[in-house]
Structure 1
Amino acid sequence: MASVPITTFLAGFGVGLAVAAPIGPMGVLCIQRTLAFGLAAGLATGLGAATVHVTFGSIAALGLEATAVTLLGAGTQGLSLLSAVLLFWFGARILKRTTVLDPYPPQSERWLHLYASALLFGLSNPMTVLLFIAVIPALTASNDLQAAPVLVIGVFLGSILWWTILSIATALIRSRLSAGATALTNRASGLTLVALGMLMLMKAFGQTLP
């Protein structure tokens, strides 16, 4: 019996790590914020992403995926449009921002803003929702609700581990970059987010690349 929670935890841990690890828009945002403002900014962004993963993981672990699929199907275009707008907004802010080599001052509202914006962005990404809905039920062989908290804890720890690794690795690179290199990296990040916003906009209107 003791092996069941461990297996469930490891399944959730693997899902959290696997969903977080691909470098998508959230990864670009985490890297850019760490380069611009320091390690704590990247960790605040990663915590927002991990909160989204826990939310979606909880929905799937509690067996509510059918309801989520129905709601998502009705609002996919709206979520894609919101995601595109946020990508454009983040990209534009990064492109307009003057490079900052010193970290943010230790003010709680700064970190809350970084966390909240990452949370909103993650919640607007329909692909993340679909990925959790597809993966987690396949990993839970039984419908034992007592195992759901163990699974969700595993998802959170797997996700937050990746964001911590990414933020620390980026912070180490940051310490070796010149101001010019940091500015160039910020510009590249901003352009990448704008390009991803264009792809999300095309997705919202059912278009594909030729």
Structure 2
Amino acid sequence: MTITYLLKGLVIGFAIVAPVGPIGVLCIRRSLVQGRLYGLFSGLGAAAADAVYGFIAAFGLTVITSFLLDYKLWLQLIGGLFLCYLGMQTLLSKPAEYQGDVQEGSLLASFFSTLFLTITNPVTILAFISIFAGLGLSNEHGNSAYAVQLVAGVFAGSASWWLLLSVGVGFFRKKISLTSMIWVNRISGIVILTFGIVALIQQWTS
């Protein structure tokens, strides 16, 4: 029966990350400008954060959930500021004349930047709690084996989406001219910056 929990987790993980948000824009931009591997590591950072939140929801760790929700505004404020920083950095960055010259940070930097962005969005934990509760997947009976399978499925589902996205977008990389790369940076930067500004505005209106 554990395979059922694994598959359910996979579907949940895939479905939660499929809508394109700031992480998706970052992944697409890095896949185009830096290469598939950078896009994939960016996605894996988000997948790791999803797995952490899935773990919290699956094991019913109410203390951690309460802490995250208590500091929701502060976390979203930090996340919004970081999005603004990434947006401005992307907007002002200049693409290398040759794609082999592009080395904007390490793979670990790509991983941890999206991990940080996803972790600072406590709304994700609410999504997991709601979905798990709605599907009757909460770990009420203390069966850790099922919960682990569920969390593994969430990570696999999320990672699968980022793999498909980075590989798919990567096919267009060699077909994009230097001028197009400039516009990729500008458009991506504006979109990411907009997400950050919206997040900050929500702090003032909430």
TM-score (norm 1): 0.89
Quote how far apart the aligned CAs of 1:63 are. Answer: 1.4
Change (3 A) 1:141 1:63: closer
Aligned to 2:194: 195
Aligned to 1:54: 51
**Partner secondary structure for residue 99 of structure 2:** coil
Structure 1: give runs of 5+ residues left out of the alignment: none
Match of 1:91 among 75, 87, 91: 87
Contact 1:17 1:161 in 2 (8 A): yes
Contact 1:32 1:185 in 2 (8 A): yes
**Partner secondary structure for residue 43 of structure 2:** helix
Aligned to 2:106: 110
State percent identity of aligned pairs. Answer: 33
Change (3 A) 1:106 1:200: closer
Quote how far apart the aligned CAs of 1:68 are. Answer: 3.9
Do structure 1's residue 17 and structure 2's residue 46 form an aligned pair? no
Distance 2:138 2:70 in 1: 29
Contact 1:37 1:104 in 2 (8 A): no
Residue type of the alignment partner of 2:168? A
Aligned to 2:66: 70
Structure 2: give runs of 5+ residues left out of the alignment: none
**Partner secondary structure for residue 125 of structure 1:** coil
Aligned to 2:75: 79
Of 69-78 and 89-98, deviating more is 69-78
Do structure 1's residue 182 and structure 2's residue 181 form an aligned pair? yes
**Partner secondary structure for residue 172 of structure 2:** helix
Q: What CA deviation, in whole Å up to 9, does each residue of 1:36-76 have, x standing for no partner?
A: 10111101101101100110011111112x33442233111
Q: Aligned-residue CA RMSD in angstroms? A: 2.0
Aligned to 2:205: 206
Of 18-27 and 128-137, deviating more is 128-137
Do structure 1's residue 170 and structure 2's residue 163 form an aligned pair? no
Change (3 A) 1:117 1:79: same
Do structure 1's residue 120 and structure 2's residue 116 form an aligned pair? yes
Aligned to 1:138: 134
Contact 2:58 2:139 in 1 (8 A): no
